[in-house]
Structure 1
Amino acid sequence: MISSTTCINSFRLARHYATSTAVKYTAFGTPNQVLKVVQENVNDNVNGDEVLVDMLHAPINPVDFNLAQGTYAFQPQLPAIAGSEGVGKVVKVGSNVTGLKPNDFVIPVISSKVAGTWRTKAVFSEKQLFKAPADIPAEALATVSINPTTAYRLLNDFEKLKAGDVIIQNAANSMVGVSVIQIAKARGIKTINVVRNTGDIDDVVDHLKKLGGDIVVTEDYVRTQAFQRLVADLPRPKLALNAVGGSSATELARNVADNGTLVTYGGMSREPVTIPTSHLIFRNVNVRGFWLNNWFETHSAAERQAMFDDIFDLIRNKHLKVWVEKHKFSEFSSAFARSQESGKFRKVVLDLQL
């Protein structure tokens, strides 16, 4: 007769582990203090709906710092692996997996329940992964699930925009902002783009205009009569996109059309959104909010598929370009430092297999 101890030991011997390098934090705090590169074991004997993935690329996003600080809308269960988006390749699938097979490219679907992406290997459930096409560069696939998707939803979900319509946005040189410019341009929608007046403002203006931005101005300039003369020949914007808050959001509200919509999706200034009462009562400006996590968790796989398919087509047709600079995962500290520098036009992306 085989004892239960023998069965347990046999089960343990049957398990196989692979070593994964990961960036993990065990407490919330200042990111460069709490984020640590560690080695850990990943069970590569997947079962059921589990999928073993070799992670290929993952960007460094501002939300990753908020999560490590414990200041985001949700707090990951500690210890947690950092990284909010990325792309990988399927290595093995469990017996119940039907939609994925080895060598498929996959993107983890953004969610408060998805484990981090800054690691070389990971086990996900099939429902946490979205199958990605093989004809788009992996470093571009790694960056599509937060910024371009946010831009896509902002342009689709709040106003019925058509060619010739106008929108206005602040933080226009952010990764969401440049995606908004390009997607709007592909649809014939004109953009008024507001940016901070920094030391490299001429380079910023030139970059955004080359992407298709129709008007690019500073936050100070928006408050002037000269700006009003500049936009006098354009229809008033139907949609205003706010990622800053404070006085910048107030200026967007003043410039959006009567019955138009102001959508807040970020708060870079950490100041409240203040809307003059007259704009709400006499002009009927609609004030809305948007959080991508909520959209993913409240919409079906088919709706997510349709959105990603549109974004992939925009990339294929060169209507949406993603600028990245790759850094070796083995040089994480320097990549992390680079991601903190201002004046970048490229997203810092970790090459997780180097």
Structure 2
Amino acid sequence: MMAKPDNRDRAIICNPIDLAYRFQDIHSRGARSVHREAADPSVVHYQGRYYLFASMSAGFWHSNDLVEWTFKETERLPALDYAPDVRVIDGALCISASRKTNSPFFRSEAPLDDDFVRVSEGFPFWDPNLFQDDDSSVYLYWGCSNVDPLFGVQIDPATMTPIGQRVALLAGNPEQHGWERVGENYERASLAVSATEPGSERPYIEGAWMTAHANKYYLQYAGPGTEWNTYADGYYTSDSPLGPFTYASNSPFSSKPGGFITGAGHGSTFQDIHGNWWHAATMRISVNHAFERRIGIFPAGFDEDGILFCNQNFADYPVTIHDRRFDPWTESFAGWMLQSYNCQRQLRSDRWRHVGLTAGGK
């Protein structure tokens, strides 16, 4: 859903964003599901255009305004890998994705020309995220497990090979972080079949994304699992790209457990051409299949105390995207309401009026 009002400096969108979501043909446990899906979005701004990579999409989307997105197929990238990561490294787009075997790295300076070149064969990792610091050093973060922590390592930007040993950065802690508890509405009873599997009550900690702001490093992560309405993003902070990291008590900063579409985890935080911050995240439909997912984009930012936030008030309602710098709290809601607004109140009023007239007639 999108519209362009008379005010020419803004456009209106509605989450989940309007993409040509790819149909997946999933065979699992003897059952088959054909459904549309995209998840685990990585969004960056590069050469005046936004690029969005998502799981199992056989390509990527691009846009010049965050409103209208065009799909671009690629023959040079792995077609159906999960959680592809895209970052700008040394003036080029660098892409990797998730594999239990070696996960290759690719580089492009003209992505719309499908000029992706394999840089290296990489090494095994899942849910990767590249990050280049102000001093040009490059780091890789990865992890997707309810047992193992998230890891980080410095890498050579020319060869994409590790420099030094990997470092364990953070792990699930549902005993202290209540939002990391698994289950629909955090209820263990909703685990159903998976409750019999070892470790099924431990959260999946995944979807790393690093953002640097005001000399501080914000390592974002997702939990407790993409199949739950409580899927969300929290973060830790540090004075160094590889830690040690301290848990941010306002986590999760991206969360949407209710409404028409739920979940707001495993995402990416980026700036637009005006300097506005946004957070893209995975949202859940889960009608035809548990992993039937969509993508949402929400206004975000850092407050004066360095707190990372994401405005998901009225997140199912139309959102304003301005062609300028704007306040993410006061200028993002489009002011549009559902056609059924106050409908129930009016129906109750009509019902009692009818009852009163009938009683008076008797």
* TM-score normalized with structure 2 length: 0.26
More helix by share: 1
More strand by share: 2
* TM-score normalized with structure 1 length: 0.26
